Structure 1
Amino acid sequence: MKADYRYNPFTDKAEPVIKSELVKVPEVSPYIVRLEEVPQKTAPSSMRVAEVVIDESGTHEGSIFTEVAAFPASGEFFPDYYTSAEGDSSWNTGQILFNESEAGKMLRINYYGMGSIIWASDTAKDTEWYRDYGNGDDGEFAPEADVTISGVKNYTSVFVPQGVTVTIDKWAAIHCQEGFVNNGIITASGKGGAGGGYHGGGSGSNAGYPGASCVFFAGGTGGSNGSAGGAGGAAKSVIQDENTDYEEIFANNLYDTLNAGGGGGGGAWYQYVAGSGGSGGGYIKIIALRVINNGTIEANGNNGSGSTSSSNGGGGGGGGGLIHIIASQYDNSGTLIANAGSGGWGGKNGGSGAAGKVFTKITG
């Protein structure tokens, strides 16, 4: 039975919509994919099947497949509306059979959709959050010069060439329908919680200000007071806790609070300046069909600054941020790093930040 069947009673005609889907042919038999909707059977066919090739130079369209009404050979596809099941020559469920030579290939399928199938809804396209490749509304992202982005992005494909730096302002959740290729630098270093400033006062009587904190990342405390000036506190981060269910956290899309805390500033001796805390690293989340990283993706904490005198405390280092990569295929020959910042020099050196974390999930 069809659901959401698009029928106009005034013209007595079905009204299909244009659909475009990205699918992956199973690695093992049966080599069948199911579309989100029932494709309209027309002559000539309304379906267009093209291979999606993702390599170090970006995302490209490969070979075009040919529709057949029998078991498919290499380069062909067989829609189930040719089976004439239930005695209906246009009957179909949106299943397409491919030859075993196409196993594991990524394909772009364009067709006229006639509505979904109620009984097939449980086996329809996987909709788990970690397969959310987005709607592509932001188009292709291929910067030719340095650029800053932030927030939720929905790209069709991403290609960062060598020599280009993409700066992440605090956080970015990048959904990419096809290939995500980085040959340059993607950085959220120092874009997390702000470091605490120093606090001056006669005889170093005031403590340094604490670093900024966030939901999952605690800011470092300010340095203690004292005649020598307090050391900056280290930025702290619960991301070192291996028992935390990070996938559940990320699924809640709390991106704007996922920043590493900065270190606290040191206390100050009279008329001298103590060090300030370094800012923490930000948050980078990438969900794409395939990720190829030949460059650098980083979310480091900044170092704390030193004092102007050995009588004063150094600033604490910023905590490392978080990098989370989810992909059906993942190739990394580059650098993924979320280091903490070190403490600044002083009569009492600032404490180092807590290390950040890099997570990768291969969905297969």
Structure 2
Amino acid sequence: MNTSLSLPRLHGAVPARLLPVAGRAERCAIAAFLAKAGMIDAYSVPPDWIAGNDDEIDIALQALENWFRREAPHLGCLDPHFIVESMYEIDPEATPSNKIEAPVIGLSIKWGERNVSRWTVGAGFEALEQAVPRLGATVLDVIDKQGGLVYPLFTPAVALEQASLLFWYGEEDESLLLEDLAGQCSESEIEAMRDDIVTKEDIDAAFPAWATNLTRARLSERALSTVATRHTDRFVRTAASLALRLLRLRPVSNFMPKCEGEGVYIGFGAVLCWRDNDIAMRLSDAMARRAWEGDEETYDHIGEIELHIGDIKGMRDWMRAMRRQLRMIALLDALIEHLAAR
């Protein structure tokens, strides 16, 4: 007689993973913190989402991502994302191996670009400049200066700066570099090296002078408003209107990374090329490669904040400030998309 054997099964009510009481308490504390601050509610998450999630960081991260999608739902060129880490109560007597057992007291939140993209915008800027002198320069100036406060982009001015830092010893052109090489290399070797560096002539050939000049002449806000409302060309009106709206917004706080100035920033939201596959791509790739292969410290997050559990006001203040940031990011995104469509 054949008797089939079957393995015992657990009742469906038994959880697949058992958490210590402390772990469940931390999970609930973070969920309650986010709910009281208004980041999550019954309409934004499934009923069993928190109960079925045993990772407090995943709860916070999903809440942030869901909140972000509600606040900025239509981005097409930029792709912001969040990084969340637990903050633990530090016991000075604890060893590295048992610090993780300390209770979670807060969240460290960082944000930046998920996937750096490249957009060709030169034709759009030149069309603006041709339609209204200094309009292209004005729109680019708004992108450089307002974008630099909330979501830095790799613009022609940044390309010039990186060429100077990467190849010219921080000088205005490659003259000092060539002087150094002259004492060490033959003329044929120097000529061969020219192919491997970006020269000032390369920059000047790639971009108009006003595109790399951060002290460029620009239209007044009143003149920009006039173009936005009265110009006959829809492309011109839309670009001026987006730039004007971005210009009039001021971030409540820029939440700059703590490591700003202590390393090489490589987290630009997008590379703005003047022509397809132009020198901006080469410079952004060289910057990233040097940072990754070298001994220099790098960072790629745009902003960060630390919030203690229970600081409901702090979280609400941050969310209020970030809404302004996200409006500015959405306008940057719309400008890039508009210019690239030309």
Tell me the TM-score range normalised by the shorter chain: under 0.3
Higher relative contact order (CA 8 A, sep 6+): 2
Query: What is the TM-score when the length of structure 2 is the normalising length?
Result: 0.24
**Which is higher, the Rg of structure 1 or of structure 2?**
1
Query: What is the TM-score when the length of structure 1 is the normalising length?
Result: 0.23
More strand by share: 1
More helix by share: 2
